[in-house]
Amino acid sequence: MGRLIRIPRQRSAGTGATTPPPRAVIVSASVGAGHDAVAEQLAARLEEAGMVVDRHDFLDLMPGSTGRVFVGSYHGMISRAPWTWKLLYGGMDNPRMAGIQASLFTALAGRSIRRAVQGDTTRMVIATYPLASQVLGRLRLRGKVCTPVHTYLTDFSVHQLWAAPGVDAHLALHQVAAVQARAVGCADVSVVAPLVDRRFTPATPESRFAARARWGLPQDARLALLVGGSWGAGELERTVADVEAADPGITCVVVCGRNEGLRERLLAAGVKHAHGWVDDMPSLMHAADVLVQNAGGMTVQEAVASALPVVTYRSIPGHGLTNAAALDEAGIARWARHSGELAGALAGALSDRVTPISAARRPGADAVQVLLAYAGLDRLAAVGDDAVADPAAGSAARSAVALPAVALPAAALPTAVPATMESVR
């Protein structure tokens, strides 16, 4: 990917000289869509705050076709032999195996990543993918990366691979994730509100009606939105059958991502509302009464922002199961562990839709404000989202940032947030 986004140079007062804006480097990975989605939102918000943003795909930083072979193997395990991914995921969940992975990928991508992050104006480096964090952490420990490195933990559960020695600070989506992150050795963990596209907002009666009309969905039906990520992974065909058996009054709307084979099978089986890749997920969430998901990734964060109740069912192995447990512990999603629990989970979720639970959710700190404070960029923080809309609100947001343990100019230091603040209910 490696796209460089430029903004006009800032002019120094009284000198006529130009000062290059500070630069942020984000390393993501096109493994599914969640890691890139977070990177996209981070880039947009940092640009709004006045930074130049350079985004890189970790897969492209590996030599030749290595990255594509790697992600192809992972895709094959998830889609054709999920039990192999479960074994591998469990086997890597210890420091020794994580260290072996870090050594391998540092040898493959270390030089490219080092070149990508170098620059006199680089003030922060953010990884949204665990293997990128591992490589950056190793380079940081060796003194080959001098800029502070941050990891944005994209899952609600935290695997050992996310704990990269050398990474300066971590951003967690919830207090449950923060506790897990500290337990596996992640340094300097702050709880932040999830970064999602601003189009994901709670539905109104008007937006609900319009969304159902836009997608050709019945206005008076109870709609369950079924997703399996960008790859349409998991047992979605069986999930459709189980949901309809648990509540015959529910109409299933299935998003198959890029899995056209799944979509064709569902349509052939009589599922009327089976979609491929969808660019307008906000309106589908406005149309739906409940989200049924199996991975616990970005779609859950978008559902939280949309005040759409979530049920976890038939979780994919590995991170799907650990995310299901974390979401259940956090009270974000109802977890139906088997078909016998599905009817109750759906009924409870539909009740949540009638009586919204979003008011009980307590947002964490703003992720961009945390990053800017860490870098000592307090003047840039003043032009962030909240400050543009309401200067007083912007000041309040900055005062809620959890500060990292680094030496910053005194003028740049905001007040610390209580450690118990959570990003969602």
Q: What is the pLDDT of residues 188-225, one digit of tens each?
A: 999 999 999 999 999 999 999 999 999 999 999 999 99
More confident residue, 228 or 387: 228
- Residue 74 is predicted with a pLDDT of 65
pLDDT at res. 51: 93
What's the CATH architecture for 205-360? 3-Layer(aba) Sandwich (3.40)
How long a stretch of residues is the chain?
Answer: 425
Specify whether domain 3-193+364-412 bears CATH 3.40.50. Answer: yes
User: Would you list the domain boundaries of the chain?
Assistant: 3-193+364-412, 205-360
Q: What is the CA radius of gyration of the chain?
A: 22
The continuous run of DSSP H or E covering 290 comes out as strand 290-293
First-residue to last-residue Cα distance in the chain:
35
Q: Which residue has 């390393």 as its token pair?
A: 27
**Beta bridge mates, 189:** 170
Domains 3-193+364-412 and 205-360 share a fold: yes
Give me the percent of the chain exceeding a pLDDT of 90: 54
Provide the pLDDT for residue 407.
Answer: 31
Report the amino acid identity of residue 42: L
- In eight-state DSSP terms, residue 49 is T
Q: How confident is the model at residue 363 (pLDDT cuts 50, 70, 90)?
A: low
| DSSP-assigned letters across all residues of 247-276 | -TTEEEEEE-TT-HHHHHHHHHTT-S-EES
Element (H, E) at 325: helix 319-330
For the ranges 132-141, 222-231, 413-422, which has the lowest average pLDDT?
Answer: 413-422
**84-98, 100-114, 410-424: segment of lowest average pLDDT:** 410-424
CA 229, 233, 234, 236 dihedral sign is positive
- How confident is residue 403, by pLDDT bands cut at 50, 70 and 90? very low
Cα–Cα separations (whole angstroms), residue 212 to 76, 114, 203: 35, 48, 12
Find, among 216, 224, 230, the residue nearest to 254 by Cα.
224
More confident residue, 162 or 81: 162
**pLDDT of the residue at 381:** 53
pLDDT tens by residue, 29-64? 888 788 889 999 999 999 999 999 999 998 888 888
For residues 391 and 394, give the distance between their C-alpha atoms in angstroms, rounded to a whole number. 5
pLDDT tens per residue, range 170-179:
999 999 999 9
Q: With 90 as the cut, is the pLDDT of residue 5 above it?
A: no
Structure tokens at 84: 């192999």
- Quick one: pLDDT at residue 89? 66
Q: Are strands 18-19 and 10-11 parallel, antiparallel or unpaired?
A: antiparallel
3-class SS of residue 199: coil
Question: Taking a C-beta distance cutoff of 8 angstroms, is the pair 196, 223 a contact?
Answer: no
What would the mean pLDDT of 256-263 be, rounded to a whole number?
88
pLDDT at residue 382 greater than cutoff 70: no
Give the pLDDT confidence score for residue 300 in this predicted structure: 93
Of 174, 178, 202, 199, nearest to 188 by C-alpha is 178
Judged against a pLDDT cut of 50, whether residue 370 lies above it is answered with yes
For residue 261, give the amino acid letter.
G
Contact of 313 with 81, CB cutoff 8 Å: no
Q: pLDDT band for position 251 (50/70/90)?
A: very high
Cβ contact 45:385 at 8 Å = yes
Under the banding of pLDDT at 50, 70 and 90, the label for residue 85 is: low
**Is the pLDDT assigned to residue 103 strictly greater than 90?**
no
pLDDT score of 317: 84
pLDDT at position 408 over 50: no
Question: What are phi and psi for residue 70, nearest 5 degrees?
Answer: -60, -50
**H helix count then E strand count, the chain:** 17, 15
Please tell me what DSSP assigns to residue 208. Answer: H
Assigned token pair, 121? 């104006």
Q: Which two tokens stand for residue 403?
A: 């500060």
